[in-house]
Structure 1
């Protein structure tokens, strides 16, 4: 029996496949080491959200693996000497030799055939993969030599389990953890579902533990943060002397539990706020004087609270410039600079929807501002057009109550950029429509214009724009 080496050649699929739709089975072929796999002609190859899904049994059995199917639990078990894999239909968590792996898409059942992402085939069977988009042909090649790639990953957060037991409850009943961010000494967790976090403080060493039961990581989480094969990872924390690290893991599987650990340098009080219905935000605030003192929440004591939103993030790059620069990076750079300036203001608190390359749903961005009862919401973006001649600065509002803020912000934005004034405009964008406070969306310039793009990614202009945002906020709030 051959030993399979780990090879991952998947970017080709992302580049050449359409984003939506399915390919008919008759138009797709699968070749393994030059031989067409013809068993089960009706077995489809599908493109689901940009991920190629292929029939698991057909490929596994041709590689010499034994495949078993349990109808009751909808579990596929693939076995070969020294290797056992378990996958559950409609669940992204799978196990390989009792180690957890996350699939890019959950396995699907199509007329009795289980489809899995081609990435799983590549990683776990060690195959080289290619795709002929014209002929609609999947080609799989097994190396003659190599080793297994099913070794264990790093340690879990505070000793989390790495053994996967398919949960008794359907995946639809699990809360999905979509993303995290850490800024202003606050950990924010975005999740979809009705789970309630359990937060506790532990000494020796000092740390704060957040357990979310009946929950797992969603595919979205993996696009913004690193997850190793055992579903462990950590969030880099800099600039906050009270916190040395934020760690996370799938801590347990009975019941499924996601654990976050905030490692602190000393004993820290905290407050916890959970907001939203099924789309929830959990904020663990280390700025609390005591766990029961609401006066430590941002925006209290007469201070104004401003939420700054860096558009896009992680898998969502936003506009792509003429030289390949990403809008998401520009947006974040401006927001971080503006936040640093706002921190120096005695009468203003600032909260960021994201402080790193994290993906957040639009509804989560608006919910964060609403749940914090913010005074202002400002979303930063860069524009794009089909015409390379398009250039200039625009500011959008959706509600009439936001128009005055838009006028003030636009005045300073145009001064900061020196680009053509494209005006204050109405725009029905989610984040400025669903927020309850005055809210604007700034389109600083056009990444599709070579001159604008070069200017937007210069340090000097970014500093001017950040300062202009602060000046606009202060004037609107009457704090100049």
Structure 2
């Protein structure tokens, strides 16, 4: 899927259920901020970090949110309830139930020092909480959806501390490869991008943002640099906490020489991707056919990601790029049997054309149809599932999306998540009817099983081909 390019990093947070009569002796060194207010922790309860996972006391949080928590000693099970919402979990079992429907947790609940540890992000999202962890100051932030004081990224803070706490986002990783800056974050912000001269550089400012648990070290001046050796257009990428009160991160990309730069940015899952491409003398590495050969309808199949960009990772640790290519090759195989269609691939091996290269290839050959194939993922919410199809504004793209989507839903039987108008580069900048397919969720155990099945892939491929033929009025 487009969402989740390059390498993604997730921080799993956990609730700690303190059983009656038990206590922990270590002193409190961390804090819990609930809807902008500090939660007062009893002396025998603390926030702890175990094996890089943050654990917080559910008993205290539940009391503040009026959740009901029941522990069954005999079955070693926990039931968490808010109004009609019920979550049931069992110690040492990854399968949980939400409203009686089974879901799979990344980590099974455990008993540690006679206390039950339960995944917080799974629980919090089901109970309407947003969660983030400030590793530098050791603070857990919890925000309930019914909190009237919560601010969005576009809001103007009106109190000194609470609103700042709620809007602050954290950067966990910064990478630059294939002419793309990739920033992994725990939330979305609107970047402010400037093109400056003497020297020529692209400046990316991220408001209401600070550094979380960065894999790259910062120097004593709170500045860091990336290793960009081998990058053809960039001499340096540096980043720093540019401002405080409110916090703002600045990333500066210095270019080797002045040239026409086309800058695109989008959020793909929890990653901000800023795509820089020199358009002054661009030549696509993908070879287009000569004009004389364009006698049939031209269909471009685009297996998402590839090469150095694995896309997302499935629940069984498989790469999205491999699923995308496997299904795309099956679509190609079927389209090659259609005498009125000429099929071209943006890639047919494990290589990585940039999104701009894919777009320019399709536009250069005047393709009639562009289909980008992806797998979806939300690792924090393994219960998320289903098929969705994306197009961008054009009526031709919407028509193509509807034709493929209805057949795909019928063929593979996953949840229907609908057809959506989305601003994604490969469908926004292509000039023909273009769609991006999120076939299913690789982070969902049931979807993944279907998506990796050779039989289901052929059914999906046939549905995609039939949808393309309907759009092109080919029988």
TM over 0.5: no
TM-score relative to the length of structure 2: 0.45
TM-score relative to the length of structure 1: 0.44
